[in-house]
Chain A
Amino acid sequence: MPQTPPVTFEKDITRDLLSPLFQTGKKYYFMLAFLIAVALYVVGVWGYQLYAGIGVVGKNRPSFWGFYITSFVFWIGISHAGTLISAILRVVQAEWRRPITRCAEAITTFALICGSLFPIIHLGRAWKFMWFVPYPNSRYLWPNFQSPLMWDFMAINTYLTGSVTYLYLPMIPDLALVRDKSTGWRRSVYSVLALGWRGTEREWLRLEKAISIMAILIIPVAVSVHTIVSWDFAMTIMPMWHSTIFGPYFVTGAIFSGIAALLLAMTVIRKTLHLEKYLLPVHFDNLGKLLLTMSLLWFYFTFAEYMTTWYGNEAAEMPVFWAKVSGPYAPLFWAMVVCNFIIPFPILAIRRLRTIGGMAVASLFILVGMWLERFLIIVPTLINPYLPYNYGFYRPSWVEVSIALGTFGIFTLLYFLFIKFSPIISVWEIEEGRHLAEAGASHEPAVGASLSNHVSAHLPGNV
Chain B
Amino acid sequence: MPQWGMTIDLDRCTGCEACVVACHAENNIPTVGDEQAARGRAQHWIRIERYFEGEFPDVRAKFRPVLCQQCDAAPCEPVCPVNATYHSPEGLNVQVYNRCVGTRFCANNCPYTVRFFTWFDPEWPSPLDEQLNPDVSIRTSGIMEKCTFCVQRIRRARDTAKDEERDLQDGDVQPACAQACPAQAIVFGDLSDPDSKVSRLANSRRGFRLLEELGTRPRVIYLKEAGE
Direct contact of A and B (CB under 8 A): yes
* A395 closest partner in B (C-beta): B39
Q: A137–B47 Cα gap in the complex (Å)?
A: 39
Cβ contact of A60, chosen from B41, B111, B211, cutoff 8 A = B41
**Shortest beta-carbon distance, A199 to chain B, in Å?**
46
Mask of B85-122 contacts with A, CB within 8 angstroms, 1/0: 00000000000000111111101110111001111110
- Given A55-B141, A61-B107, A387-B112 in contact, is the A236-B79 Cβ separation under 8 Å? yes
Q: A390–B50 Cα gap in the complex (Å)?
A: 10
Report if B207 contacts A (CB, 8 A): no
State whether B80 touches A238 (Cβ < 8 A).
Answer: no
**A:115-158 near B, CB below 8 Å:** 119, 122-126, 128-129, 131-132, 141-144, 146-150, 153
**A:157-209 near B, CB below 8 Å:** none
Cβ contact of A149, chosen from B42, B105, B112, cutoff 8 A = B105
Number of A-B contacts (CB under 8 A): 137
Q: A387–B211 Cα gap in the complex (Å)?
A: 9
State whether B111 touches A149 (Cβ < 8 A).
Answer: no
Query: Which secondary structure characterizes the binding site on chain A?
Result: loop
B101 neighbours in A (Cβ, 8 Å) = 123-126, 128-129, 131-132
- Given A64-B107, A64-B117 in contact, is the A386-B112 Cβ separation under 8 Å? yes
Report if A248 contacts B (CB, 8 A): no
State whether A148 touches B79 (Cβ < 8 A).
Answer: yes
Q: A141–B86 Cα gap in the complex (Å)?
A: 13
Cβ contact of A65, chosen from B80, B99, B104, B141, cutoff 8 A = B104
Q: A129–B75 Cα gap in the complex (Å)?
A: 23
State whether A125 touches B143 (Cβ < 8 A).
Answer: yes
Cβ contact of B142, chosen from A64, A123, A388, cutoff 8 A = A123
* Given A128-B101, A236-B75, 15 further pairs, Cβ under 8 A: A53-B119, A54-B102, A61-B41, A62-B107, A64-B108, A124-B104, A142-B83, A143-B83, A147-B105, A236-B108, A237-B111, A386-B112, A386-B113, A387-B211, A389-B66
Identify 10 residue pairs between A and B in the complex whose beta-carbon atoms are under 8 Å apart, listed by A's number. A53-B119, A60-B39, A61-B113, A123-B142, A124-B101, A131-B99, A142-B83, A147-B80, A386-B211, A389-B49
Question: Which residues of A does B touch, CB under 8 Å?
Answer: 53-55, 58-65, 119, 122-126, 128-129, 131-132, 141-144, 146-150, 153, 232, 235-238, 382, 385-390, 392-393, 395
